[in-house]
Amino acid sequence: MSGNDNPVITIITSTLNAASHLPWTIASVRGQTYGNIQWIVVDGASTDGTVELLRDNEDVVDTWISEPDDGIYDAWNKALKHVRGDWVQFLGAGDEFESPTVLEELAPALAAARPRHDLVYGKLRLLSGRTRGEDWSVTRNRWLAFRPDLPPLLAVFHHVSLFSEGGAYDRSFALAADSLFLLRCLKRKDPLFIDRVVVRMPVGGASSTVAGELLGKREDMRLSRMLGLRAPLRHRVRARLRYRMEVLFYRLFGERWFVRGSRFYRAIRGRGRSKWDL
């Protein structure tokens, strides 16, 4: 672990049959002008060439493991045992840094953040062109369906002390363990917001399907109960009613017609694009 002037940034990536996407991330990490990077990749026993990619790029991948796992949070927990950095960031296969200099530009803010801040974050750009990430002081009281709005995970840097204090990811969640972890951290200290795009992210993943979206909402309900978080009554009633209608429509008509119905609903309400237009 480095001194405060040059913090080591540990990047953690979990993969499973990601050979078609991982080269983009490899090139992006290799292209960073900042030298103090540790990259850990935990692979779930891929059979598509991912392991060969990792082996061929050990000049940039500091530690890699390939063995069966129980999903992304199991992989992350394995990776956390190998962290040598001061700050930890999570990237997926296919994710890229916004520019070659972004980590070098963020390093001074990371070095100065502690002890006031344990989380430092910027913005995330989707390849559709949308940008996510705002100052927490503005969004802290904003609710999504069943949980408060959060900084975009891929653009968040977690101080390593958050994990050494026993905070690993809850494997009973399939999609929302990262949200649970962030919310627990945010209850203790405010994060530091850097008004800069950090990562570009392709569209996809488990939560990008309708089934994944509905599962994510169920898990958000559970984590909010665990943390004793309650949205304003009006929002809570509307969110639950909409969720029940979505579940019913999905069960009756399936994914294809759910997506078409969502687009049509937003069109007649004049709300523009939905996440299903990505």
- Closest Cα to residue 207, out of 223, 222, 218? 218
Q: Name the band, by pLDDT with cuts 50, 70 and 90, for residue 165.
A: low
Q: pLDDT tens across 207-259, in order?
A: 568 888 899 999 999 999 999 999 999 999 999 999 998 899 888 888 877 77
Q: What is the average pLDDT score of the chain?
A: 89
Residues listed for the chain: 278
User: Around Cβ 197, how many Cβ atoms within 10 Å?
Assistant: 18
- Tens-place pLDDT, residues 50-62: 999 999 999 999 9
Omega before 115 within 30 of 0, i.e. cis = yes
What was the pLDDT predicted at 174?
Answer: 94
Domains of the chain, CATH where assigned: 9-205 (3.90.550.10), 208-277 (no CATH)
Q: What is the pLDDT of residue 5?
A: 75
pLDDT at 206: 56
CA-to-CA separations, 131 to 128, 151, 202, 258, in angstroms, rounded: 9, 12, 12, 25
What pLDDT does 204 receive? Answer: 61
Angular region, 97: left φ>0, alpha ψ -120 to 50, beta rest: beta
* Residue 7 DSSP label: P
Contact status, residue 11 vs residue 78, Cβ threshold 8 Å: no
Give pLDDT, residue 208: 65
Q: What is the pLDDT of residues 121-159, one digit of tens each?
A: 999 998 776 788 888 888 888 998 899 999 999 999 999
The b-or-e profile of 42-63 (16+ CB within 10 A means b, else e) is: bbbebeeebbebbeebeebbbb
Query: Does pLDDT of 263 surpass 80?
Result: no
Q: Structure tokens of 219?
A: 């898990």
Residues 6+ apart with CB under 8 A from 122: 106, 133, 155, 193, 194, 195, 196, 197, 198
pLDDT at 59: 96
Return the pLDDT at 266.
62
Please compute Rg for the chain using Cα positions.
19
What is the model's pLDDT at position 1?
39
Enumerate residues 6+ apart whose C-beta is below 8 A from 163. 80, 83, 88
pLDDT, tens digit (0-9, with 9 covering 90-100), for 3-16: 457 899 999 999 99
Lowest mean pLDDT: which of 123-127, 184-188, 196-200, 270-274?
270-274
Q: By the 8 A CB rule, do 152 and 121 touch?
A: yes
Hey, what are 46's tokens? 């891929």
